[in-house]
Amino acid sequence: MFLVNAQDSTATKEIVPEKTKTAAKPVTKPKPVVQEAKTDSVPAPPKTDRYGLRVGVDLYKLTRGFYDKDYKGIEIVGDFRLTKKYYIAAELGFEDKTTDDTRLNSTATGTYIKGGFDYNLYQNWLDMENILSIGLRGGFSTFSQQLNSYKIYNANPYWGEKPAIEAGQKYDGLTAGWLEVNGGLKAKVFNNIFVGFSVQLKLLVANKKPDGFDNLYIPGFNRTYDGNFGIGFNYTVSYFIPLYKKKVIIPEIQTNTKK
């Protein structure tokens, strides 16, 4: 007899689910957070140009009387800023000049006025107010001429020149008019204080002469030795009186961007 012992067991299989294949996602780094720095800044005030009246005196004419005994004079100069580049300008003066010529000695005394405009050619930086100008003036003078002495012309001076004849004759109500081109500069040296100089080229257009001799000197025009053409010069110091301001408009610069 055979004894058989058997054990019936059911083998269980563990079902493992298959892993699903998924696409790998790219790893993105977080963007750094930039914190804007807070500044307590005050916006700059808008740029302005000053407009006003500038009044001064010609130092050349004022000081000439100290070393020239035959001259006395003074000239007041002024200009008003009308636009950014244009200035209305004027000069008012008085002169007393004795001219000692080879044949006669005369004294011209009178007043004059000149008016016109200046154009500033200089491009100032920041708050500079310098002027490099060219302008045009019209001048008018009313004066008198006194014939102090004269000599009679002798074509054959065998016995020498005759002595001068004292006259003392005065002619009133004389007038003259001229046009002039004015070029010069004014530089700011202190607050509201300007110094400058200018040169004038003049053309005489009207001249009322006395009877018997010519106007050798016309107040405001200078001497007439060169016919109808003259030249003048002044050296000025002036003070600027600001009256109001205008905002400077800066033109916008447009840039073309391509997409």
Write down the domain spans for the chain: 51-247
What pLDDT, on a 0 to 100 scale, did the predictor assign at position 224? 86
Phi, psi of 199 (to 5 degrees): -125, 135
Q: Looking at residue 211, what DSSP letter applies?
A: T
Q: Give the per-residue pLDDT at 12.
A: 46
Residue 247, pLDDT score:
82
Give the number of other Cβ atoms within 10 Å of residue 64's Cβ.
17
pLDDT at 237: 97
Q: Cα 162 to chain center, whole Å?
A: 55
**Between 123 and 37, whose confidence is greater?**
123
The per-residue pLDDT for range 158-215, each reduced to its tens digit, is 666 666 667 778 899 999 999 999 999 999 999 999 999 999 999 999 999 888 778 8
Report the mean per-residue pLDDT for the chain: 83
pTM: 0.75
For the chain, percent of residues with pLDDT exceeding 70: 73
Contact yes or no for 114/90 (Cβ under 8 A): yes
Taking Cα atoms as reference points, which of 138, 47, 139 lies closest to residue 84? 47
The pair phi, psi for residue 66, each rounded to 5°, is: -75, -30
Q: What is the pLDDT of residue 168?
A: 76
Q: Is the pLDDT of residue 103 over 60?
A: yes
Is the pLDDT score of 218 beyond 80? yes
- Residues, the chain: 259
Band (151; pLDDT cuts 50, 70, 90):
confident
Which of the listed CATH numbers 3.30.420.40, 3.30.300.30, 2.40.160.20, 3.30.70.260 matches domain 51-247?
2.40.160.20
d(CA 241, CA 56): 11
